[in-house]
Structures are given as structure tokens and as C-alpha cells.
Chain A
Amino acid sequence: MDAALGRPVAATSPFPLLSVLVALTWCGCERDVPRRPQPPPGASTGVETVLVPEKLTSIESGEVDALGKPLRVPCVSCHSLKEPARMPSGPEALQEFHRGLQFRHGELACTSCHQADAPQSLHLATGEPLPMVEVVTLCSQCHGPQARDFRAGAHGGMTGHWDLSRGGRTRNNCVSCHDPHAPKYAGALPVMPPRPPHPPPSTEGRPHE
């Protein structure tokens, strides 16, 4: 479309040589003019991916491996083999692995989100099953404003490139920051404790006048 429109204009221009000269002078070496050409509009080399935290596919065993790294057990190692027990009414009834789970997420029951007969999977409010890794869809059912902001890139943080034509970026998952069982964001101790703004200079270096 652009080329079809552009060619006749160039051909009918009364001063083709002059316009080339003007163009050459115009994109000369003035300092404020960007020198680096940009990727063509619409070029996209990067993609946006949403993190899938380990906790969506495995659970801490409480043990450490030979290198001292916490050992995680995939959900399927138990949940695909064992006969599913009845879904407990609350986390305190759990005897293995999920012990000590704190639950502070409104009036929800385990089965509000987990499938009663396949606790490693989720279900939507409609009852439609949902794989654990698609938890963002589950949270979005109730937390509309946050989901809207997240889709717009204004909630949850990211790393990588702001410019997707130059590289990808990674978005945090809901559960990267929020524990789904106690989603209020925990506080922290601040880093970079206050210091005197101008500490005395060290002994080496230039002597004081």
C-alpha cells in the first residue's frame, strides 16, 4: 500500500535530485538526531512470557539434596499414583507434605479452587478443570481489577525488555508474589540502611587542604 502510493509521488517530484540532497543534508551529523536506525515498525523479536514458579508443579519436601539445595517433589509423584483421599475441609487436616499450611484467603474452602478428586489441578467457578500452571486465569475470576492491570502490564512487575522489538520480557505470575493460600503481600525489612551522606574520606587519596 505504502509502496504503491510512494512511487508515483517520487516520480512526479519536479526536483528528484534536490530532494535527495536535502534528505542527505537533513540526516547529517547533528548531535541531537538519533543515529541508530530502528527496527521496522511492527517487527517483533521478543515475546512476553509469564513465569511458572516451581510451586505450581512441585512442593518442598523439607529435605535437602547433597548440595544443600532444598529438595522439591513434583505434585504428580504422589497425586498421580495415590488413591485420592477425600478433600479435607481445611489445611489443618493435612497429614503429609502440606502440613503447616496457613490459610488466610477469605471464606474459601479447598474445593473452591482445587478439584476434589484431583487436588493437583484447579477448576474454574464453572467447574471446568484448569491445569495448575494456568493459575492466573483462576485468580482473575475474582480479582478483576488486578487482572485488568496485569494484562495491561501495570501490575506484578517484569524483567527484560520494555521494547519487544529488541527482546523478550518475563512477567511475574500471580503466585510469584502472592501465596495463594495467604495472598496478602508480606512486609519486609528495608535494605540500604540510612548512612551519613558524607562520611569522612579514607586516609589514602588527596590530602585535605
Chain B
Amino acid sequence: MNDFTRRTALKGAGATLGAAAFAHAMAPLTEWTKDLSLDEFLQRHYKELTPEEMQVILRRLEEETKREYGRDVTIQDLPPQEGVSFGYALNLSVCIGCRKCAEACHQENNHDRRSGNSYIRVLEMEQGSLDLERGNADYDHAVPAPGKYYLPVQCHQCDNAPCVKVCPVQATWKEQDGVVVVDYNWCIGCRYCEAACPYHARRFNWTKPEVPAEEINPDQGYLSNRIRPQGVVEKCTFCLHRTRAGRLPACLEACPTGARVFGNLLDPKSPIRWVLENKRVFVLKEELGTRPRFFYFFDK
């Protein structure tokens, strides 16, 4: 016992503390294998991937979807089109607040079925007011109710997007056609972007999304509607897996009143340009300088 000096005791205590701290720091690794493959862990940022690497990743994601959800899906990575810049407009005079757009979004984008998630939130507003704080998204009665109008809000794909600026890891950015996207495999789930968005347009995957195999939309995009992992942020992408193939967004096709107008802002003959040139359009929270690509207008 003579050998047991103060120095030895301190060494022993230090080593124990160090080992404990190291073990704690490495603790997340014990849960690693469950939903994170080595390939996924080592995957680089979207913009650094070569087309060949992206193909490998897409096939891997398709296999994972098949394994975990029991459905054969096609995941593509459609690039922005040359000479195309997307814009969206919504006619508040004809929107009746039926939430068909939110439902179409829910199905198209493979949202978690239990939470009933959707990128579109329809606010029931007092006629004559634009106070978003008093908009009610939880109405559940026949629409349109007297004295109310309905304001569907989704991602405005801002040209000066606060959500993009706050991301600490550049997991979200604006594409050349104006769509703000998220690399779900690069997102760390800090939710800064969700807090930064003045339109409450971003959603967080609290749980692993649950979608029955037969309800999964098999037409998927890497940056859009593929089934997101737990713990990442997601958002409306103007359905880029559809719109980059020339198709209309799902919410527009679902609208029973024709309130939605979508198209290429760079095409002078497009319906969206006609609306911007002939209707008195406005954007939400213009004073924030976010420069949205989502416009609202009234007929009269």
C-alpha cells in the first residue's frame, strides 16, 4: 500500500473520468446501426456528389424504402431546367378553405400518416384583416364560413430566404429555378431554419414517418418527396419531382375552385406572368424583405 501515492490516485481518477466522458461521447454510436448505414454516414454534401455517386445513392435509398416500407419506388434527382424560374399565385377571392390542397400535399409528398402532416396550412381569417397571428388553422366546420376568408400558406421559396441563411451546415439552399431545397441526408435537425421562417413553412420529422405501402407515392425525388428520415427538417419544394418534369404541382391539380396559378416566371406567355401583370398581387410580410415567389391576389 506504500506505493499508493496521491499522484497514483489522481491519475486513476483522471483516467476513469476520461474513459467515462469518451464512452458518453461515443454513446450515439450504439444506436447507429439501427437506421444509419456506413454509406449514409460517409455520404458527402449534395453539391459535391458526382452524377455517378448520386446514382449509387438513389439506388441505395430505393432499396432502403423497399426494405423498410415494402414498396418499389423510383427516386430521381431532376436538375433545374434551363430558362425556368418558378412562381406561384393564389386567388383569395375563390379559395373556400376546403383543405384539398393540404390533403393532396400530404399524399403526394409521403407525409407521416399519424400526424397528418402537410406543407400547406390553411388559415381561416377575418374578412378585412391580414393579421396572421389571428388566423385559425384548426377550423372544422362547413366552409366558407360567413365573414371569413381563407389563406393557404406554404413555402414561399423566398429569393432572400432567412431559413437558408441560418443553416449552420448548408443543408438547405436555393436552386437555380428558385426552389429552396433540403438535403435530408446532410440536415442535422437543429431546426434553426424552422425558427427563422416567418411563414412557419418548415416541418420537423419528430418520428420516423409511417406510411402504409399501398399509400406511398412511388414517383419520388431526392430533394423533394422521398420518405424523410427521422430528425430532419422538410419543406414544400413546389413538387419539384413533378414540376421539373413539366407537370403541375399536386396542390394545384387538387384545388376544386381553380384558385392556384403556377408557372415559369421567365415565360412572358405563362399564366403566372399574366396574373402578376394584370392582378393586384401582394406577398405576405413584405416588410421583412424575404422576396417571396408566392403571390396572393383578390379578384376585385
Residues of A that sit less than 8 Å from B by CB: 29, 31-38, 145, 149, 152-163, 165-167, 169, 172, 177, 185, 187-199, 201-202, 205-206
On whether the beta carbons of B78 and A202 are closer than 8 Å, the reply is no
A152 contacts which of B243, B253, B259, B274 (Cβ < 8 Å)?
B274
- Which of A158, A190, A205 has the most C-beta atoms of chain B within 10 angstroms of its own C-beta? A190
Asked whether B246 lies within 8 Å of A165 as measured between CB atoms, the reply is yes
Q: Which residues of A contact B84 (CB under 8 A)?
A: 163
Are the C-beta atoms of B258 and A172 separated by less than 8 Å?
yes
Least CB distance from B79 to A in Å reads 5
Cβ of B264 and Cβ of A162 under 8 Å apart?
Answer: yes
* Docked-complex contact B78 and A162, CB < 8 angstroms: no
Closest approach, in angstroms, between the C-beta of B255 and any C-beta of chain A? 6
Bound form: Cα–Cα A201–B210 in Å = 10
Query: Provided the pairs A157-B260, A177-B256 are in contact, do residues A190 and B79 lie with their beta carbons within 8 angstroms?
Result: no
Task: Tell me if B15 counts as interface (CB < 8 A to partner A).
Answer: no
CB distance from A47 to the nearest CB of B (A): 14
B79 touches which of A34, A153, A166 (Cβ 8 Å): A34
- Please tell me if B180 contacts chain A, counting CB pairs below 8 Å: no
Instruction: Give the residues in chain B near A161, CB-CB below 8 Å.
Output: 246-248
* A157/B114 in contact, CB under 8 A: no
Determine, out of B91-99, B127-135, B161-169, the stretch whose residues face the partner at the interface. Answer: B91-99
Give chain B interface residues in 252-300, CB to chain A under 8 Å.
252-253, 255-264, 270-271, 274-275, 278-279, 299
Pick 8 A–B contacts, CB within 8 A, sort by A. Answer: A34-B176, A154-B274, A154-B278, A162-B262, A195-B115, A198-B206, A201-B207, A205-B207
Q: Which of B46, B99, B260, B261 contacts A192 (CB 8 A)?
A: B99
Given contacts A191-B98, A192-B118, contact A157 B256 (CB under 8 A): yes
Q: Which of A31, A163, A193, A206 contacts B264 (CB 8 A)?
A: A163
Given known pairs A157-B252, A162-B246, the reply for A192 and B116 (CB within 8 Å) is yes
* B98 pairs with A154, CB closer than 8 A: no
The answer to whether B248 touches A169, judged by C-beta atoms less than 8 angstroms apart, is: yes
Among A155, A169, A172, A177, max chain B CB count under 10 A is at A155
Q: Please judge, given known A-B contacts A34-B81, A152-B278, A199-B115, whether A157 and B257 are in contact too, CB under 8 Å.
A: yes
Once A162-B264, A206-B31 are accepted as A-B contacts, the answer to whether A191 and B100 lie under 8 Å apart by CB is yes
B18-26, B136-144, B186-194 - the one binding chain A: B136-144
What's the dominant secondary structure at chain B's contact region? loop
With CB as the reference atom, state the residue of chain B lying closest to A201. B207
Query: How many residues of B are in contact with the other chain, CB < 8 A?
Result: 69
Residue of B nearest to A188 (CB): B98
| Alpha-carbon distance between A159 and B258 when the two chains are bound, in angstroms | 10
Q: Answer yes or no: B241 CB below 8 A from chain A CBs.
A: no
Residues of A within 8 A of B82 (CB): 34, 36-38
Residues of B within 8 A of A167 (CB): 246-247
Known contacts A32-B176, A206-B34; is-contact A194 B257 (Cβ 8 Å) = no
Whether B248 lies near A158 (C-beta < 8 A) is: yes
Smallest CB-CB separation from A145: which chain B residue?
B299
B175 at the interface (CB under 8 A from A): yes
Within 8 A of A (CB), among B58-112: 78-84, 89, 91, 94, 96-100, 102-103, 106
A190 close to B253 (CB less than 8 A): no
Tell me if B258 and A155 are in contact (CB < 8 A).
Answer: yes
A207 to B198, CA, bound (A): 34
Contact B247 A160 (CB under 8 A): yes
Q: Is there an interface contact between A195 and B248, defined as CB atoms closer than 8 Å?
A: no
Query: What are the nearest 7 A-B pairs in CB distance?
Result: A157-B258, A153-B271, A166-B246, A163-B246, A194-B138, A152-B274, A31-B47
Judge whether B253 and A159 touch: CB under 8 Å. Answer: yes
Residues of A within 8 A of B11 (CB): none
B50 at the interface (CB under 8 A from A): yes
Shortest Cβ distance from A150 into B: residue: B258
Contact B208 A192 (CB under 8 A): no
The answer to the question of B195 belonging to the interface, with a C-beta cut-off of 8 Å to chain A, is no
Least distance between A46 CB and chain B CB atoms (Å): 8
Residues of chain B with a CB closer than 8 A to A189's CB: 98, 141-143
- List 12 other contacts, CB 8 Å, given A38-B81, A153-B261, A188-B98: A29-B50, A32-B47, A33-B176, A153-B263, A153-B271, A157-B255, A157-B257, A162-B246, A167-B247, A185-B96, A195-B116, A202-B114
> Taking A36-B79, A145-B299 as contacts, is the C-beta distance between A152 and B271 under 8 angstroms?
yes
Query: A188-B142, A206-B34 are contacts. A159–B248 as well, Cβ < 8 Å?
Result: yes
Q: Whole-angstrom distance from the CB of B280 to the nearest CB of chain A?
A: 13
